[in-house]
Amino acid sequence: MDFALPDHLQTLLAEMDAFIEAEIKPLEREHIQYFDHRREHARTDWDNGGIPRREWEDLLSEMRRRADKAGWLRYGLPSRFGGRDGSNLDMAVIREHLAHKGLGLHNDLQDESSIVGNFPQVIMMDRFGTEDQKKEWTEALITGERSMAFGLTEPNHGSDATWLETRAVRDGDSWVINGAKRFNTGVHRATHDLVFARTSGEDGQARGITAFLVSTDTPGFTVPYYWWTFNMPTDHGEVELKDVRVPADAILGEVDRGLEVGQTFLHENRIRQAASSLGAAQYCIDRAVAYANERSVFGKPLSVNQAVQWPLVELQTEAQMVRLLVRYAATELDRNHHMEVSDKVSMANYRANRLVCEAADRAMQVFGGVGYSRHEPFEHIYRHHRRYRITEGAEEIQIRRVAQRMFGFGKR
């Protein structure tokens, strides 16, 4: 087996770095308050529900505009959408590389905004949308003219997604939706929310759930508050739906088969998010090693102490194993239907998410008091990535997915 990266990726990463230095870093330096110790305060509209400040999101939009103009933003999309047909392996390597560079406008961890975009909604639309929906949505999603929040989690249901209490009932040519959703990421600026509701069947059945594209200005659709979280700003809204009426053409995919839409979203996201966690972990490890070599304590380098060396060696070993797993899972995802390799994706994701939390924590310990401060990025990295051990499939659910495949129970 050849473990070397394809030749085109080496050239690609060098070209990408040159673009970042020429176009993105100067913009970042003009707005450094969003990236230094002031970052959480500068980004958060504390008096408006804790949502991201508009100025901060406008800066991210300008970054994406520059990246799109230079041909980077759509790299992972098919060429028919203006992309470069980037594979899952390409995207995994790129996402690791960008996160490994540390905090910056080129690849912001907090909202997954990057010069190389991740567009799971576009992939969902391509796979499940009607021709009219594709014409209306695809380019608008890429440019940001339209945006789609993800309404699956509910106040009483998270990982148990087949037990949704939100209901949709057909009424003539329309559907009427009632229920509530929790942690609707990005709903503060979203034009639509992809709301999953039971339309038939019994609680616990995967069949019988439908995905609806609900405009956020529809009567009865309200966001009473946003959850303030470990990592601010927050864009995780609580959504209430009271007699929300949508037309029949608002359904994405087939009636009663909406969870297939949701699974596509999760698998596309999980492998790339795992790569980002790996890159951020490697950044923390590298910074800790460099500091341990530079720091002198009791008249000798901090790095001569085995108590410092050994935890970092363990982390570096884990990082190398996770790297191979992420790239293997990405390659398999390119070759097979996503459900065929869901266990590999789950393995890569939960191990990478654990790794980055451990690496950020160890970097804080090596740096001591300075590492605990906001003048270093480790607390920010920890707070951001800690959520991925819960969201988009808690690690327990992902381990369960691997167990299903290992022990031969449950549906594929």
Active site residues: 392
Question: Which of 129, 143, 212, 144 is CA-nearest to residue 178?
Answer: 212
Cis peptide before 26 (omega within 30 of 0): no
Query: How many other C-beta atoms are found inside a 10 Å radius of the C-beta of residue 93?
Result: 24
Contacting residues for 287 by C-beta, under 8 A, at least 6 apart: 102, 363, 367, 378
List the structure tokens of 268.
Answer: 């596309």
Q: Report d(CA 338, CA 19) in Å as an integer.
A: 32
Query: How many other C-beta atoms are found inside a 10 Å radius of the C-beta of residue 102?
Result: 18
Tokens 């698998």 — which residue? 267
Q: Report d(CA 354, CA 348) in Å as an integer.
A: 10
Contacting residues for 35 by C-beta, under 8 A, at least 6 apart: 28, 103, 104, 105
Q: Report d(CA 239, CA 184) in Å as an integer.
A: 7
Q: Are 225 and 93 in contact (CB under 8 A)?
A: no
Tokens 């990057």 — which residue? 114
CA Rg, the chain, in Å? 22
